[in-house]
Structures are given as structure tokens and as C-alpha cells.
Amino acid sequence: MSDTLYSEIPSLDLADFTSGDAERKNKFVSDLGNAYQNIGFVAIKNHGLSDQLTSQLYTSVQNFFSQPDEIKLKYEQKDLAGQRGYISKGREKAKGRNTGDLKEFYHVGQPPQSQLPEYPDNIWPTEVPEFKDCTSEAYKTLEAAGIQMLRAIALHLGLDEYYFDDKVNKGNSILRQIHYFPIENPDEIPEDAVRAAEHGDINLITLLMGASADGLQVLRRDGEWIAITALPEQIIVNVGDMLDRLTNHKLKSTIHRVVNPPREKMGTSRYSIPFFMHPVSSMDLTCLESCVSDENPKRYEDMTAGEFLDERLKEIGLKS
């Protein structure tokens, strides 16, 4: 493994992987592997999202969250453990913390034609009719890009290129629209309250659309926090805890956070839309034998993706 300490996350072009040119494809796999073994994050262009769809989606998300709380709360079903619909302010806490994050968000899962019986139905806000179409299109587009990223990851790991395909087909993936709401009186919130406390993502990989404001930071291997920025045409794609477990920490699920803005900007909103790519619940996350060695002994107990998700939902306060 390279000992590179990145001052910023690497930028890659997904078109290199899908080009049909073996040399470009191999270089993409190599560069992606190096980044994921070091910092766990990359910025990707040519991911399939159009500027028009991105703009329409953010507008619909802003329109939903600008509504009064009593309207938004109509779409919160706490018995779903935050897996669909609206999740209200402060409900989610980072693992190991008691203070809720300064955010509210909305979850959308697989569309009806691919629903498995274990998945709850999606919940759509009638007050913002365009929300459904924009969200559904973004979900399909990011899922397709995620499949290509996982194919590159499989090749880097020495697996069959299509190793992940059947595991994420109709997977338990979630599109999350986040509103980091304005804080008009910063002195009235808990001293340790932040927009998103430091955490690792639960899933295989996360595909993050560009946020509306700065604030995302990643913890580098030397303990330094570095700001993550993406160009307008890029999305951020990072390793999640499930992929970290599967590869016995060969690929790194890197701790990250969203810090509060300067005090004079606390009264402003921040919007962010990550796509959490999950496999089906039955996927075995037992560490790959090729990733276990004397130098890197097995560090995780065997469990399925469903069991791991259930454990984490309890740890972050969405499931009792």
C-alpha cells in the first residue's frame, strides 16, 4: 500500500472505466484502489447526473424543507426506523454520541417495481409533487453509477468484475435528502451540537451529490482533518463500513463530519444529497480470505449486511 497522504481527495473520471479502452480502465482501477486504501474518498465526474436534474432535485428538496414542521411531520413514521419518509430534527445521533445532529432529512428507497417484501413502501409528500419524479430519477442514476464503481472495486480486489452485481440488485439502498437547518440563536443549542458529528457510513459505498455549502471534512490517516470539495460536475464517492468489513479494512471507511459554519452564517441552510448504496440484507460480510493475512489478521466478526444494518440503526438512535 502507498503511504500517500493526500492534501485533497483524488479526482477520477468514470468514463475512463466505461470507455472500452483497456489501458484507461486499468488505470482507473489502480487509481481508485490506491485512493480507497489510503483516504477512502474520491471525486468522480461523468457519473450520469445532468445539471438540469441536479438543479430540479435541489429545488424540490428546498421546497419540501421550507414547509412548516407540522406538514413535514405528516411524513414521519417512527416505526420504520428512519428507513422511509421524513426524519425529524435531532433524531439521528452519531455512534457513541448523545447529542443529536443539527439536521433533518428524508429517505427514499427502491422503487415499487423492484421492492422486496422486507422493504417498506416509499412515502411521497403531496405538497411538492415534483419531489417524487426528481428523486426517483436521481436514485436510478446514482445506483447505476454505483454499480460501475463497485465493478472497479471488484477488479482492484482481484474478484470477478461483476462480483457485486447480484448483491446490490434490488439492494436496500437509500437516497437521503438532508437539510442542515438554520440556527438563529447559536447560544441555545447544546455546546457539542454539530451538523453531522464524526462518523463512518454504514453501507458499501456512498455517492454524494455536491452540497449547497462548505463544511464536509474527512479525517486523514495522520489525524488531520481536511476539507472535501468537489467541482460542480463531480460527485464524491467514499467507502462505507460494510465494504471496510468485507475487505478486512484493506479499503478504508474513513471518518468524516460536517462542521458548523462560522457563527455569522449559522442562520443559513445547507443542503446535501447522499446515495447510500446497500446490498440485499442477505449479503455475507465475512472478510474476504484474500484480505486476511499475518500482517492483516481478521478484525471483524462474521455477519450479514442486514444484521450489521440493524446493529448500526440502534447505535445511531433510529431504531430502539
Number of Cβ atoms within 10 Å of the Cβ of 242 = 24
Residue 4 covered by a domain: no
26-28-29-32 Cα dihedral, nearest 10 degrees:
160
Read off the CATH number of the domain in which 268 is found.
2.60.120.330
Residue 320 covered by a domain: no
Residue 5 covered by a domain: no
Number of Cβ atoms within 10 Å of the Cβ of 271 = 18
CA distances from 179 to 88, 92, 139 (A): 10, 13, 18
- In this structure, the strands spanning 11-13 and 41-45 are parallel
Domain that holds residue 234: 11-315
Distance CA 302, CA 284 (A): 8
Cell, residue 84:
422511509
- How many separate domains does the chain show? 1
Could you tell me how far CA 295 lies from the centroid of its own chain? 30
Residue 102 covered by a domain: yes
Model confidence pTM above 0.85? yes
pLDDT in tens, the chain (320 residues): 345 677 788 999 999 999 999 999 999 999 999 999 999 999 999 999 999 999 999 999 999 999 999 999 999 999 998 999 999 998 888 788 888 889 999 999 998 766 677 889 999 999 999 999 999 999 999 999 999 999 999 999 999 999 999 999 999 999 999 999 998 888 888 888 889 889 899 999 999 997 767 889 999 888 999 998 878 899 999 999 999 999 999 999 999 999 988 888 889 999 999 999 999 999 999 999 999 999 999 999 999 999 999 998 888 878 77
Residue 236 covered by a domain: yes
